[in-house]
Structure 1
């Protein structure tokens, strides 16, 4: 059985950016549907390649979007990421996997640091300071499995293969000098 790729999760600032992302996703074979309520009664909709989109303006809509993402639908949400609602959306979606901000193409851009969730930043900071993954996970009150997933997501964002390369890319983009041994 082949594993389905993760459904796309995008949080954008305005409807124009949402249109850009949706055009790209439909070109890649995703079926776009307005709103976050799932029409399919089956729990796992991963195989349907369905991407739901709309504005997140209240906690109920946020819950619908996160539930749809948990069930395997792609999400393109228009939301102010600086608002409490936007931060809650990003945190909840990040627990499911990588979240892209804006209409930019994922992976390896010059602003990948901006796409990291706070847990990833904290882990990369600790790794840059010389901690092991296990020590960094314990210090951040994360399980080792969650820490490894967050670091794997960071590697994908930076477009690198190793954790060392991800730490170096993080430091370079953040403007911090790498630690000397």
Structure 2
């Protein structure tokens, strides 16, 4: 069974970095730029994700061609601009856009997790490689509130550092 290549259109380089880190942990190789020089058409066996900014229609065409050949793509382009909408539609003809092909660990805490949903959401974002500030912004929290919730999660999980809390959270939610 082959896994569909990941296809993303994100608005910022920070979002792209988060996605690329998650994909790299799942075994994908990341390469900057969308031009593929391999001689064979199907490059899906290499599990390569091409990434970069998409400032114009020529670059968008290269990204779509890379995706059609089986490479994953992470395109940095305003997803609600005209170019972003066209790019998303074109990639959507190849596969689902913005959906990880790797199995996702649910972000909802299970009954064995001693953390709240809000704490679990922050820890899940940290596990995906986001900073505390980025996770706080994504969860519509102030940095101070996010730090307090992470401190409470550390206490609930019985660990001393945020890194240990993220690792304990990841182990327990599997």
In structure 2, the residue matched to 1:24 is: 22
CA deviation profile, 1:34-65 (whole Å, cap 9, x unmatched):
00001311100010000000011000000000
- The structure with more radius of gyration: 2
2:58 is equivalent to residue 65 of structure 1: no
Runs of 4+ in 1 over 3 A off after TM superposition: 105-109
CA deviation profile, 1:57-94 (whole Å, cap 9, x unmatched):
00000000000000000000101112111011000000
| 8 Å Cα contact 1:100-1:106 kept in structure 2 | no
**Secondary structure of the corresponding residue to residue 63 of structure 2:** helix
- For normalisation by structure 1, the TM-score amounts to 0.54
Aligned counterpart in structure 1 of residue 33 of structure 2, from 28, 35, 39: 35
Shift, 1:107, TM fit: 9.7
Partners of 1:63 and 1:10 in 2: CA distance: 15
Partners of 1:93 and 1:85 in 2: CA distance: 12
In structure 2, the residue matched to 1:75 is: 73
- For normalisation by structure 2, the TM-score amounts to 0.56
The answer for unaligned runs of 5 or more in structure 2 is 108-174
Shift, 1:97, TM fit: 1.0
- Taking only aligned residues, the RMSD between alpha carbons, in angstroms, comes to 2.2
CA deviation profile, 1:137-157 (whole Å, cap 9, x unmatched):
xxxxxxxxxxxxxxxxxxxxx
Partners of 1:108 and 1:33 in 2: CA distance: 28
| Cα distance change on mapping 1:78 and 1:47 into 2, 3 Å | same
